[in-house]
A and B are shown apart, each in its own frame.
Chain A
């Protein structure tokens, strides 16, 4: 428990003492939001999602042989 507390304190103090790092973290969060919440959800639906392994194989077999 003591170790976990020390690890948490290590990170909290690390984040608190940042200056340039704060700007970078803001950038990282905006970037991840765009990547996962916008790009992934709206533009990158998984093309083979919802298909069983066999259905995926048959789908690709059709694609390769049509």
Chain B
């Protein structure tokens, strides 16, 4: 393996590590902010000091998570510029805009109101304080909008055109980028699943109090709010997940085929509920055994039980009957696009203006030959860097199992939250000790499910940094692999220390309960 390929692997590992740790802090912030705001609304509406005490307790846990998590995402932005400089330049204008909006609008909004939220008790009016709490929650979620818009563009690069001279993709339509079907679904699915995680956190901590026979009123009141909130949003998460599957089927068919381990495409494709994968498929058969729901994959993907769902072999080898181009052909077309870019570079070096004009026309969507070249060749630009068609297949077992962890856990959460809500409403939740223990177990499981979702989304995009446009193998900077390896371990140590600090401070505060000052 060359040093550059090692650099690519280390850079991917480093980015994955920082993103995974960053995402341990974010979802709780997204959801707990709203739960705290709902509790404070109860306080303002009723004037009952109990709700103020309850709000302050959960706000303290929100503050711990926020403080330890804040700025962990900055490392990801460093890495774009250093480890992924080719990628950053190639997409800069499009990727930069949502991130800049995030920084200016959402982060400052969040940071301004969080001070009022924590310092403003008894110093500003109740309603002003309540507004600050709601705006902090809204600000956190607005941050998520723009980050997820940027990520969605990598999955589905819409609303852009390639500028040959700057070697950058430039935004042609902000709304196509911000409101692409991938962006809308990704935002809704990500935030609603985060609300579910936060609800499970509140339910889990409250369940711990009930098991200990402490803070019964606060625990049952918190569970009433969180279980209802969580139940609603876990159901919405299921709906947005279903919609995400349909979008993936259209824009990233390989991701869908890989997460279903569907090697041969078929009409009326079944959905595998559970299954044990073979190390390698035998005659297209991926499983030792599986439990399937007939026609469900076709139904979920194309809203038609008899629709054709392409498999991995169809996408690699092509399927003329269904209009799927062989990957080998896409590689040839991509190489032609790369070759034209190389020819342009030579023409620039040699001052050959006639060739420059000729190639500019090819990349100009306003000319007929440009329109054809961009559609038939440049659309496969990224394939020009692949060596074999098989490289477009992501790691099937990881995708298959992470999808099932996410969906299985999500289904369990709906059941648990419904039961918790029901028994709490009847007033006998604290006698269902098995359910209280299950609620506590759901807290780490919610984090695992959330991470599994991201693993599915990001590993499912491989080998692409930007779908069809740029593989990770050319996106990385040519920096020594050793220095990337050093920073990998540096971040591992830093983030592990932060996580240990969070868990330690958080558990101490939970044990102290709401009676402690601040």
| A positions within 8 Å CB-CB of B | 10-11, 13-15, 17-21, 23-25, 27-28, 31-32, 34-35, 39-40, 43-48, 53, 56-65
How distant is the Cα of A18 from the Cα of B431 in the complex, in angstroms?
38
- The B81-117 residues at the A interface (CB cut-off 8 A) are 81-82, 85-86, 88-90, 115
* Interface, chain B (partner A; CB < 8 A): 60, 63-64, 67-68, 70-71, 74-75, 78-79, 81-82, 85-86, 88-90, 115, 118-120, 123, 165-168, 338, 341-342, 344-345, 348, 474, 477-479, 483, 486-487, 490, 494, 498, 501, 505, 509, 517-518
Closest 5 CB pairs of A and B: A14-B119, A65-B342, A24-B67, A47-B85, A60-B89
A39-B487, A63-B474, A63-B478 known; A47 and B167 CB under 8 Å? no
A11→B119 contact, CB < 8 A = yes
Q: List chain B residues, Cβ under 8 A from A48.
A: 81, 85, 88-89
Q: State whether A43 touches B167 (Cβ < 8 A).
A: no
**Minimum CB–CB distance for A46 against chain B, Å:** 6
Q: How many residue pairs between the two chains, A and B, have CB atoms under 8 Å in the bound complex?
A: 111
Given known A43-B486, A44-B82, A47-B479, contact A28–B345 (CB-CB < 8 A): no
Residues of B within 8 A of A47 (CB): 81-82, 85, 477, 479
Question: Which A residues are in CB contact (< 8 Å) with B341?
Answer: 61, 64-65
Contact check, B474 vs A46: say whether CB atoms are below 8 A apart.
no
Q: CA separation between A11 and B509, bound complex, in Å?
A: 24
Is there an interface contact between B64 and A20, defined as CB atoms closer than 8 Å?
yes
| Min distance, Cβ B382 to any Cβ of chain A, angstroms | 10
Which residues from B are CB-within-8-Å of A35? Answer: 71, 74-75
Say whether B167 contacts A57, CB under 8 Å: yes
**Assembled-state Cα–Cα distance A64/B165 (Å):** 13
Residues of B within 8 A of A13 (CB): 119, 123
Are A65 and B345 in contact, with the CB atoms below 8 A? yes
C-alpha gap A57/B119 in the complex (Å): 48
Contacts of A45 in B (CB 8 A): 82
Are B165 and A57 in touch, CB under 8 angstroms? yes
A-B contact pairs, 29 of them (CB 8 A): A13-B123, A14-B120, A15-B119, A18-B518, A20-B63, A20-B64, A21-B518, A24-B67, A24-B68, A28-B70, A31-B498, A43-B486, A43-B490, A44-B79, A44-B81, A44-B82, A46-B81, A47-B479, A48-B81, A57-B165, A57-B167, A58-B345, A60-B90, A61-B167, A62-B345, A63-B86, A63-B474, A64-B474, A65-B338
Instruction: Provide the bound-state CA to CA distance between A1 and B64, in Å.
Output: 33
Residues in B whose Cβ lies below 8 Å from that of A10: 115, 119-120, 123
Cα-based distance from A49 to B338 in the complex (angstroms): 26
* Residues in A neighbouring B166, C-beta threshold 8 A: 53, 57
| Chain A residue at minimal CB-CB distance from B476 | A63
Query: How long is the Cα–Cα vector from A10 to B117 in the complex, in angstroms?
Result: 12
Closest to B168 in A: A57
Q: How far is the CB of A58 from chain B (nearest CB, A)?
A: 8
A47 to B78, CA, bound (A): 10
Taken together as a complex, chains A and B put the C-alpha atoms of A21 and B518 apart, in Å, by 8
- Tell me how far the C-beta of A11 lies from the nearest C-beta in chain B, rounded to whole angstroms: 7
B92 to chain A, nearest CB (A): 9
Minimum Cβ distance to chain A for residue B106 (Å): 19
Whether A28 contacts B78 by the Cβ 8 Å rule is no
Q: Determine the distance from Cα of A14 to Cα of B399 in the docked complex, in whole angstroms.
A: 47
Per the bound structure, the CA–CA distance linking A34 and B497 in Å amounts to: 12
* Chain B residues closer than 8 Å to A21, beta-carbon distance: 63, 67, 118, 518
Instruction: Judge whether A17 and B85 touch: CB under 8 Å.
Output: no
B116 to A, closest residue via Cβ: A10
Instruction: From the candidates B60, B78, B517, name the one contacting A40 in the complex (CB within 8 A).
Output: B78
A29 to chain B, nearest CB (A): 11
Which of chain B's residues have a CB closer than 8 A to the CB of A61? 167, 341, 344-345
